[in-house]
Amino acid sequence: MINLDTITINSRPNIFSTTPQLSRANHWDHFLARLGYKRSQHCVEPGLYAIGNPSPDSPVFVTANYTLSFDALRSNLNGIDGYILVLDTNGVNVWCAAGKKTFSTEEIVLRVTATQLKKVVNRHVLILPQLGAPGVAAHEVKKRTGFKVEYGPVRATDLPEYLKTRQATSVMRQVNFPLRDRIILIPVDFVHLILPTVLAALVFYFFLGGLLPALAVLAVLFSAGILFPILLPWLPTHNFSTKGFFLGFLTALPFALSVFIRHPDWTWYHQAGQAFGFLLAMPAVVAFISLNFTGSTTFTSKTGVRREMFAYLPAMAWIFAAGIILNIAFAFIR
């Protein structure tokens, strides 16, 4: 628990100023964040921000100090006078920060106290994003700060309509993950996987079997990094690991069949060995990369991801190892 006696209070609250307009620099920052470039450095200064020309009766919105979260909020407050209380979430978005307990009761108490928010506004109400709820105990915030917590809609785009009644409709409460949102997230992991994938493909090309295994490595990246987010709702099963295994099997199948088509002169055990190498190694890698996507969607929970990892990661490791051993062994059989 925070010791409020250790917080330095100035005689006058320090309020930053912001606008709903996004600059070219903001858009460039968003682009770099989507690419995963310096992922922990896309953040704004925590504190209290004024947007428009707020009065003591203006609403107070709470968000994370991740630039995309902050900018998504302020860009949807055009024509609205209010305050934005920015929490220090270490540059992590609202939903992930709530899971990591940085978008939390403690942080809200600290910021409300440090910014002397009671001196700024008359109405002691904080409007939080719905996805921040897992990290916040509303009754504790009320008890320790005097501010009531009010959960707004899932998306900042609904805030202008929400403010008319201060009631969120069922549509505003729905968490959707449409194709557009899934495509936007593709570059985050894909960019980081390109270099090791190319290096692995070169190793396979020059030392472990030639062109076909090298193409298989590239196909894994394409399947897990691009096809999986796009096809996510339509892949069978309910967890990400088995969805990944299924997609990986479909990706590996043409490579396995090509062994029989391209090398009819090989012995049956040579053909079967290399085919099974593809059918084992490729699905395991696609499943592993696909599991990383659990951190990009609200369709999963922290406990659910942990259970899935414990259940499937050992199987992924053993299946991948078996596939690699088969590929290496039969790469030297002629």
Q: Quick: pLDDT tens for 46-69.
A: 999 999 999 999 999 999 999 999
Does the structure show a pLDDT above 90 at 192? no
pLDDT at position 298: 62
Q: From CA 199, how far away is CA 192, in angstroms rounded? A: 13
For the domain made up of 4-173, the CATH class stated in words is alpha beta
Does the structure show a pLDDT above 60 at 217? yes
pLDDT at position 3: 37
pLDDT confidence of 5, banded at 50, 70, 90? very low
pLDDT confidence of 12, banded at 50, 70, 90? low
Average pLDDT over residues 176-181: 86
Q: How far apart are the first and last CA of the chain?
A: 67
pLDDT at position 291: 85
**Strand pairing report for 47-51 and 82-87:** antiparallel
Could you tell me the two tokens for 222? 């394409």
With 0-12 / 13-18 / 19 or more C-beta atoms within 10 angstroms meaning exposed / middle / buried, residue 281 is: buried
Cβ–Cβ contacts within 10 Å for residue 269, how many?
Answer: 10
pLDDT at position 206: 86
pLDDT confidence of 295, banded at 50, 70, 90? low
Percent of the chain with pLDDT over 90: 61
Instruction: Tell me the domain boundaries of the chain.
Output: 4-173, 179-331
Average pLDDT over residues 17-30: 94
What's the order of all strands across the beta sheet hosting 148-151? 15-18, 47-51, 82-87, 60-64, 125-128, 148-151
Phi, psi of 87 (to 5 degrees): -85, 155
Coil, strand or helix at 82: strand
Can you say whether the dihedral through the CA atoms of 227, 244, 221, 26 is positive or negative? positive
* CA distance to 30, 38, 67, 263, 326, per residue, from 35 (Å): 9, 9, 14, 41, 35
Quote the distance between the C-alpha of residue 98 and its chain's center.
12
Q: From CA 326, how far away is CA 314, in angstroms rounded? A: 19
pLDDT at position 236: 92
Does the structure show a pLDDT above 60 at 203? yes
pLDDT at position 107: 96
What does the angle CA 264 – CA 268 – CA 269 come to, to the nearest 5 degrees?
A: 135
Does the structure show a pLDDT above 80 at 208? no
**Strand pairing report for 15-18 and 47-51:** parallel
Half-sphere exposure of 273 (CA within 13 A, CB side): 17
The partner residues of 150 in beta bridges, in order of sequence, read 127
